[in-house]
Structure 1
Amino acid sequence: MPDSSRGPLRLAVLADSDTRWKWGALTARRIAPESSVHGYLLRGRATPTARQLAETDTGVEEPEEITAINFLRRIGDLQENNAESAAKSRDNAADDAPYDALILACVGGTVQAMLHGLARAWHGAPRRTVVVSGYVGVVYEKLTDGLLLRHGADIVLANSAFDAARFREQFRGVRADTSAVTECALPFLAGQPYDAGAVERGDRPYRLVFAVQPSVPGTRKDRAYLLERAVEHARRHPEREVVLKLRSKPGEHTTHIEELPYQRLVERIKGGTPANFQLAYGNMGEVLDGTDLLVTVSSTAALESLHRGIPTAVLTDLGIREQHGNHYFLGSGCYASWDELDGGLVPTPDPGWLADQGLGRAPEEAFGPAHQRLATLLEQADVDEGLPPLDPYYTVRTAPGYLPGVLARHGLDVKGEPLVGFQGGPDPTTGMRGASKRLLRSTARGAYRAGVQRVAPLIRRWGQL
């Protein structure tokens, strides 16, 4: 655990979607339970609504919406102000860092940009903040790309022993430092263990939950097929409740773009849906409380379900394919098709696979290495030499044709400084002008999402005529 003599730690979380906000805020609570947490939410296409934020159920105050450039300015200003206050009080500047730890709960490119921007903001500072990054769920694609974009953080969290071994192997493969890789678990693996006797006791009907994903599968045909099979399962088993667990409402976005919302497809089911079929939103943990069989293609919800001991099925109907992410579950014992589920199959997970994924462990055990890593870094930050400067693998020397574009998308040049002319001015937060700009941003997001969900698919269909 971090040194209790320091008092409550000051943590910040920078997130770019509702799911990453949930991961970041809950991770902060896991690695420093008594900490104060300040949240920042990057403004962009995936900026969540108030409803989506409320459903994350993090127990942390709603995050402040901000741009990447203004976030870096804020961090720089806080660093400078704290240093001035420490100097005036003749303190030893041990508290000049604005936060003890900063969790970057963002996509890889954003993490890389923030690492370079923060390195510039903290240049020459006697003490800097510990930087943490990681993944919100199953890492089934772009492993090398995503990891190298996160390299440079002081702590790169791996959600299992399996992931930790893969991460270290990737870093060693490019002769990069592996010391930041730290094993933990997904912070939202919690909840009551599965009560297998609830249905037999008559406490509730048997409930199958189909946890859908915004972008997997990606085609209308495949999504319609999975939906129709779920509806057909409800018709075949009228004694069961069949729940379609949705991530967002039409017009809302999450980590991935959803061009074809299941809600729209449900409206087109021939003959309508049976009475025992329903849609559900809300916190996944609450939905799992009454679930007897969790069905998905590759959602992280499968790990939440397996952690509780709930029977879980990973669908094979559309094949076991890298593009669907269900190849991650090889060896799990959870594969099944809708035909098999219709026939009564209940998959039995492999104990060895579960152990390798770190499922079933208590949070205190799972986050022990992260506690210790953070404590060690905070102790190092307090000594004379402090923490070394942030040192990402990607530099203008190692990736001169790649890094500039990654940084430019966030308004930074290769030195981590704001690009001349980049639109990243002060954030309006009060007054009529501020309200007008917030309304304009909200309207623009709605128009963009409508274009993605309605216009773009229509144009693609026209192109296929």
Structure 2
Amino acid sequence: MPSRTERAVRVAVLADSDTRWKWGVLTARRISPEKSRETSAGTSAETSPESAAVTGFVLRGRATPTTRQLAETGVSDTAPREGTGAEFLREVRDAGARGEGYDVIVLALVGGTVRAVLQGLAELGLERRPVIVTGYVGVVYEKLADGLLLRHGADVVLANSRHDAERFRAVYEGVGADPHAVVEAALPFLGGAPHKPEPGRDTLVFAAQPSVPVTKAERVYVLRRLVEHARLHPGREVLLKLRSKPGEHTTHLEEFPYQRLVRDLPDGQVPANFRLVYGHMGEVLDRTDLLVTVSSTAALEALHRRIPTAVLTDLGVREVLGNHHFIGSGLLTSFDALDKGAAPEPDEEWLGRQGVGVGGSYERAFDAARARVAELLAGPALPPIAPYYTEATAGGYLPGILARHRLDVTAPEPRESGVRRIVREAARGAYRHGVQRVAPVIRRLGEL
């Protein structure tokens, strides 16, 4: 049987939302060890990333992405398998028993789920366990310490910039945890052609976020200012870029979807140059001349392409909004300034620390992570998983996290008939409807 260094590296990506699926697949491709190709002269040529075989899984739950959402990410023609955490662990166990074990597992999950899956993988008792990689899908502006400590125990914890790498190591060192798993990289979905203005085109895109801002009043404010801006600038196309359609979920719940708020505008009309749009963010950025957001990671995508970018201050510069991350960037701007034609200029030093828009350095951003994974694959069997959060260090916290996930791979796997599957899908649809539509109404009634 060929060794892990002699065959295509087998990679499993486990995600819990559309955005994390995108991050996980692209990360897997960028960090997988590359195999040398031989030239006709017999000498080693450039390496190829095609040596990785990526298998995708998405967790069944509140934020399970729809087929449309998965397709819109544009990262894979093959749909991932949907299942529970326990089913994923069984697949890892059984693949190893078949001699087809995974070499690398990318956990594109929230922190608590990462910790639970780490526990499950440790309990499988695999003869040679996979290299475990995890990280963050975007800007880390909240729960820095808790999120990092829940991820501790993975072999590689990716940081999306030098700024993040320094913060991550400081947290681990500060609590006495091993910081060596932290590896500096970048957001894996940056790319696209540099911004090139086109005569006659003037497009402002607002990148919406499901949970920022959170209150209805703040979201209505943003919407009304966008509509007003469109009226003030009839020659400019104003696009409100939405992440999901009604009934779909993303990483965070969206209690007040902009689609509904547009319908509820008092005057009932919006100017012809204002539209709601969906689709792949990269394709929308292809026609963007000014990207506006509160704190979306789309700002970093735009900056990487040198698209003028503005981060709003109208709702304050607050940790809960995440726009405090952009302090020092030169991008903090108000709607009043935008209405008057402002076009912020980013601070180059800030950009460098965030790993965006800096010459050709992005092409080498994943070299260290790829080398670390290759080193771990080529070395001896990996030691047991050793997270920071254990019964000894977090006895009043960890049991609750593990209990919420119930990753028991020893429980008998239920056989599912066609009728049962249809019933399960209907129940899941009803659950999503209850979470997005019914629960917010009940909460609002309770506030009366």
What TM-score does the superposition give when structure 2 sets the normalisation length?
A: 0.92
**CA, structure 1 residues 350+427, in 2 after alignment: closer, same or farther (shift >3 Å)?**
farther
- Give 1:34-53 correspondences, 5 Å limit: 34=50, 35-53=52-70
Structure 1 residue identity aligned to 2:399: P
Q: State the distance in 2 between where 1:233 and 1:441 align.
A: 45
Residue 16 (1) aligns with residue 16 (2): yes
Which residue number corresponds to residue 217 of structure 2?
Answer: 221
Instruction: Give yes or no for contact 1:411–1:419 (8 Å, CA) kept in 2.
Output: no
Deviations along 1:24-77, one digit per CA (max 9) or x if unpaired, are 001111112221100011100001110000001003511000111111111112
**CA, structure 1 residues 60+120, in 2 after alignment: closer, same or farther (shift >3 Å)?**
farther
Instruction: Give yes or no for contact 1:208–1:292 (8 Å, CA) kept in 2.
Output: yes
SS of the residue corresponding to residue 98 of structure 2 reads helix
Which residue number corresponds to residue 461 of structure 1?
Answer: 444
Instruction: Give yes or no for contact 2:95–2:102 (8 Å, CA) kept in 1.
Output: no
SS of the residue corresponding to residue 239 of structure 2 reads strand
Report the CA distance between 1:360 and its aligned residue: 2.2
Q: State the distance in 1 between where 2:153 and 2:444 align.
A: 43
- Give 1:193-204 correspondences, 5 Å limit: 193-196=194-197, 198=198, 201-202=199-200
Report the CA distance between 1:463 and its aligned residue: 2.6
Structure 2 residue identity aligned to 1:292: D
Q: State the distance in 2 between where 1:51 and 1:437 align.
A: 24
Structure 1 residue identity aligned to 2:13: V
Instruction: Give yes or no for contact 1:11–1:102 (8 Å, CA) kept in 2.
Output: yes
Report the CA distance between 1:444 and its aligned residue: 2.5
SS of the residue corresponding to residue 324 of structure 1 reads coil
Instruction: Give yes or no for contact 1:141–1:325 (8 Å, CA) kept in 2.
Output: yes
Identity fraction in percent: 62
Q: State the distance in 2 between where 1:248 and 1:220 align.
A: 17
- Picking from 209, 222, 238, the partner of 2:234 is 238
Which residue number corresponds to residue 114 of structure 2?
Answer: 111
Residue 250 (1) aligns with residue 253 (2): no
Deviations along 1:185-204, one digit per CA (max 9) or x if unpaired, are 011001010113x1xx33xx
Which residue number corresponds to residue 7 of structure 1?
Answer: 7
Which residue number corresponds to residue 89 of structure 1?
Answer: none
Q: State the distance in 1 between where 2:250 and 2:377 align.
A: 33
In the alignment, structure 1 segments of 5+ residues that lack a partner are 83-95
Instruction: Give yes or no for contact 1:18–1:47 (8 Å, CA) kept in 2.
Output: yes
- Give 1:250-329 correspondences, 5 Å limit: 250-269=246-265, 270-329=267-326
Report the CA distance between 1:401 and its aligned residue: 1.1
Residue 452 (1) aligns with residue 448 (2): no
Q: Superposition RMSD on alpha carbons, in Å? A: 1.7
Which residue number corresponds to residue 170 of structure 2?
Answer: 169
Residue 340 (1) aligns with residue 328 (2): no
Q: State the distance in 2 between where 1:12 and 1:122 align.
A: 18
Q: State the distance in 1 between where 2:116 and 2:268 align.
A: 51
Deviations along 1:151-191, one digit per CA (max 9) or x if unpaired, are 00000000000000000000001111111100110110010
- Picking from 60, 80, 93, the partner of 1:76 is 93
Report the CA distance between 1:403 and its aligned residue: 1.0
In the alignment, structure 2 segments of 5+ residues that lack a partner are 33-48
**CA, structure 1 residues 74+225, in 2 after alignment: closer, same or farther (shift >3 Å)?**
same
Deviations along 1:216-250, one digit per CA (max 9) or x if unpaired, are 11111111110011011101000000000000000
SS of the residue corresponding to residue 320 of structure 2 reads helix
Instruction: Give yes or no for contact 2:5–2:378 (8 Å, CA) kept in 1.
Output: no
Report the CA distance between 1:5 and its aligned residue: 5.4
SS of the residue corresponding to residue 322 of structure 1 reads coil
Report the CA distance between 1:394 and its aligned residue: 1.1
- Give 1:13-162 correspondences, 5 Å limit: 13-32=13-32, 33-34=49-50, 35-82=52-99, 98-123=101-126, 125=127, 127-162=128-163
**CA, structure 1 residues 5+103, in 2 after alignment: closer, same or farther (shift >3 Å)?**
closer
Deviations along 1:340-376, one digit per CA (max 9) or x if unpaired, are 1001001110000000001025443111111111111
Q: How many residues align?
A: 426
Structure 2 residue identity aligned to 1:453: Q
What TM-score does the superposition give when structure 1 sets the normalisation length?
A: 0.88
Instruction: Give yes or no for contact 2:90–2:409 (8 Å, CA) kept in 1.
Output: no
Report the CA distance between 1:419 and its aligned residue: 8.2
Structure 2 residue identity aligned to 1:405: G
Which residue number corresponds to residue 40 of structure 2?
Answer: none
Structure 1 residue identity aligned to 2:273: N
Which residue number corresponds to residue 402 of structure 1?
Answer: 397
Which residue number corresponds to residue 185 of structure 1?
Answer: 186
Report the CA distance between 1:144 and its aligned residue: 0.4
Which residue number corresponds to residue 367 of structure 2?
Answer: 368
**CA, structure 1 residues 387+451, in 2 after alignment: closer, same or farther (shift >3 Å)?**
same
Q: State the distance in 1 between where 2:435 and 2:400 align.
A: 24
Which residue number corresponds to residue 88 of structure 1?
Answer: none
51-60 vs 14-23, greater mean Cα deviation: 51-60
Which residue number corresponds to residue 206 of structure 1?
Answer: 202
User: After the TM superposition, which parts of structure 1 deviate over 4 Å for at least 4 consecutive aligned residues?
Assistant: 417-420
Report the CA distance between 1:427 and its aligned residue: 6.3
Q: State the distance in 2 between where 1:418 and 1:401 align.
A: 24
Residue 356 (1) aligns with residue 353 (2): yes
Deviations along 1:417-464, one digit per CA (max 9) or x if unpaired, are 5587xxx83463xxxx23x33333332233223223332232233233
